[in-house]
Amino acid sequence: MILLGITGHPSAGKDTVADYLVHQHGFIFVSTSDMIRDEIKHRSLGEPTRDLMHTVVNELRAEKGPDVLVKRSVEKFKDAPRLCLGGIRAIGEAQTIQTLGGSIVVVTAPLEIRFARMQARGRTGDGATLEEFKEKEEKETANAKPEAQNVSGIIAMADYTISNEGDRTKLETQLDAMMTELVGKAL
């Protein structure tokens, strides 16, 4: 199995990358964020704001281990030849992906581009101002606990870095090159 964990700061283009990998390279995609939203719905906790999602996922990781979402996904799709997990935000998740022979893919984009994308999507719980956006990002950036949000720590572990500054062709070229390398390693 080719296993990928996608991470990056908010609105960097993680879902865009995952969509391309699904449609052009045959991956099954699992959104850890969707898994958390489902958990919130299951618990009847209300609207899945970003803060509530952080609280619920941290509770899940504390109760069932820092890599609970990765383990659930890999088990569910164990027979898939290609699996992509989106929204990897904890060191424990990234470590498990790499231990299983997978790779961590970081999607990057400048802050101003990401803020404009966030405003365009209009998702509940996103910051309304650039300052709020920065504050929410800082909460996810660094935490030494393996179950906590630590995007900066995962970025340091990255096997691949994909720049997504707005040019779709350049983005796809980078992804195709990554896949050529990964398929070569898998043979």
Distance CA 57, CA 35 (A): 9
For the ranges 4-8, 137-141, 156-160, which has the lowest average pLDDT? Answer: 137-141
Give the model's pLDDT for residue 125: 56
The CATH number that applies at residue 91 is: 3.40.50.300
In the chain, the number of structural domains is: 1
For residue range 62-115, list pLDDT tens digits in order.
899 989 999 999 999 999 999 999 989 888 999 999 999 999 999 999 988 988
For residue 12, being part of any structural domain is answered with yes
Tokens at residue 179, please? 């896949």
The CA–CA distances, whole Å, from 63 to 11, 34, 69, 132, 159 equal 29, 19, 12, 30, 29
For residue range 18-37, list pLDDT tens digits in order.
999 999 999 999 998 888 99
Domain that holds residue 58: 2-169
Q: How does strand 82-86 pair with strand 103-108?
A: unpaired
76: number of Cβ within 10 Å: 12
For residue 187, being part of any structural domain is answered with no
For residue 184, being part of any structural domain is answered with no
For residue 139, being part of any structural domain is answered with yes
How open is the CA angle 148-151-155, to the nearest 5 degrees? Answer: 135
